[in-house]
Structure 1
């Protein structure tokens, strides 16, 4: 049995023995966290950009691989970039490809 399964079984047994207790929640604290979450997820600005049709096709293909709308993928990439969480691929790993397009040639 792996460590995760053993831990899950220990947690379940602990729960079934009644060792878990609910923590009372303050309505003000719940409301505060709900407001923070809403503000973080609010999309209240519209932006129009011009990109090449080839880049848009690639973005749409990547979004299809992830089963998400391409606008959502674009917003996610921009968000990760501005928050410093966009991770560049390791130089040791080959780039991911959808397999539907040839790599672009440098001219």
Structure 2
């Protein structure tokens, strides 16, 4: 059993034992976070960009792995970048030799 399945089983067992209780803040907390999500996720502008077909293929493959639309993935990456939450790993600072791209798994 993989880690995710095991965690899900533990959470389900905990719930069935009655170990979960509603938040004391209740609906006000839900309303607060729903408003934050609506504000931050509002998509009111359209942007067209040109990127290489190889990059688009890679983005679409990553999105498929995450089971999300590729436009959503691109929007999320841009949002994280402009809010300062997207950080480069130390390994990504070393450029790859030209022409060496990671091999993608077959869909």
User: What residue in structure 1 maps to residue 59 of structure 2?
Assistant: 59
Cα drift, residue 37 of structure 1: 2.6
Cα drift, residue 98 of structure 1: 5.7
User: What residue in structure 1 maps to residue 50 of structure 2?
Assistant: 50
Cα drift, residue 33 of structure 1: 4.6
Aligned residues: 85
Q: Unaligned regions of 5+ residues in structure 1, if any?
A: 1-7, 102-107
4+ aligned runs moved over 6 Å, structure 1: none
Greater mean deviation of Cα atoms: 34-43 or 60-69? 34-43
The structure with the largest alpha-carbon Rg is 1
Q: Unaligned regions of 5+ residues in structure 2, if any?
A: 1-9, 93-101
Deviation readout 1:60-82 (Å, 9 max, x if unpaired): 11111111111011011101110
- Please tell me whether the aligned partners of residues 61 and 104 of structure 2 are also in contact (alpha carbons under 8 angstroms): no
TM-score by length of 1: 0.56
Cα drift, residue 88 of structure 1: 1.8
Q: Secondary structure of 1:91's partner?
A: helix
Map 1:84-103 → 2, pairs under 5 A: 84-91=84-91, 97=102, 99-100=104-105
RMSD over aligned CA atoms reads: 3.6
- Please tell me whether the aligned partners of residues 65 and 98 of structure 1 are also in contact (alpha carbons under 8 angstroms): no
User: What residue in structure 2 maps to residue 75 of structure 1?
Assistant: 75
